[in-house]
Amino acid sequence: MSDEQLIREITAGNDAAFRTLMERYQRQVFRTVMGFVHMKEDAEDITQEVFIRVYQSLHTFQGESEFSTWLYRITVNMSLNFLRSNRKKRVLQSLETLFTLRSEEKSPLEELESAERDRRIRKAIDTLPERQRMAFILSSYEELPQKKIAAVMNRSEGAVEQLLQRAKENLQKKLSPTIGK
């Protein structure tokens, strides 16, 4: 069943159709949110909120863009809103993960180095300008083509290409002193 058919079913009151739609898109939404928040628990909470918002506002979906484009827009906006309202909490969480990571393959020192490297990379991604970050996450976590990213962000393909280029340059600049190119 196509997305359009499912949406018609849902607006007619068929909740089973909404379950099907969620099963179809939950991984995409979760992965995108992971790109923004990097924490499984937070990503799950936001994914749930995204689908509840979709259910509540599905009647406003006009079908002018693809459903997945509309869904990605909601996902990106809700992830950014979450980050804006939980800045302090996230600093504490990132420190917490630094001390709670355990791996049997690595020595404690290697573990700590690896956790610190992850923290630096996450911080570099998180401190990218908002549009560069959106384009980078949709491209690298979701592997969306530039055309699709342009539709989600309401920008031209050329603008997205530039954003991606700048994002990669910025990441290299931020990480080059500590992490190899």
At its nearest, how many Å lie between other proteins and the CB of residue 58? 11
At its nearest, how many Å lie between other proteins and the CB of residue 118? 6
At its nearest, how many Å lie between other proteins and the CB of residue 26? 6
Alpha helices in the chain (DSSP H): 3-11, 15-37, 40-57, 67-85, 87-100, 108-126, 130-140, 146-153, 157-175
Closer to other proteins at the Cβ: 129 or 158?
129
User: How far is Cα 124 from Cα 58, in angstroms, rounded to an integer?
Assistant: 35
Whose CA is closest to 123, among 30, 33, 38?
A: 38
Closer to other proteins at the Cβ: 55 or 61?
55
User: How far is Cα 140 from Cα 46, in angstroms, rounded to an integer?
Assistant: 20
Q: Where does this chain bind other proteins (CB under 8 A)?
A: 15, 18-19, 22-23, 26-27, 30-31, 34-35, 38, 40, 43-44, 47-48, 51-52, 55, 117-118, 121-122, 140-141, 171, 175, 179-180
Closer to other proteins at the Cβ: 19 or 158?
19
Closer to other proteins at the Cβ: 39 or 153?
39
At its nearest, how many Å lie between other proteins and the CB of residue 43? 7
Instruction: Collapse the DSSP code of 141 into the 3-class scheme (helix H, G, I; strand E, B; otherwise coil) and give the result.
Output: coil
Whose CA is closest to 27, among 91, 75, 97?
A: 75
Structure tokens that stand for 162 in this block:
């530039």
Closer to other proteins at the Cβ: 128 or 160?
128
User: Contact at 8 Å (CB) between 43 and 68?
Assistant: no
At its nearest, how many Å lie between other proteins and the CB of residue 64? 25
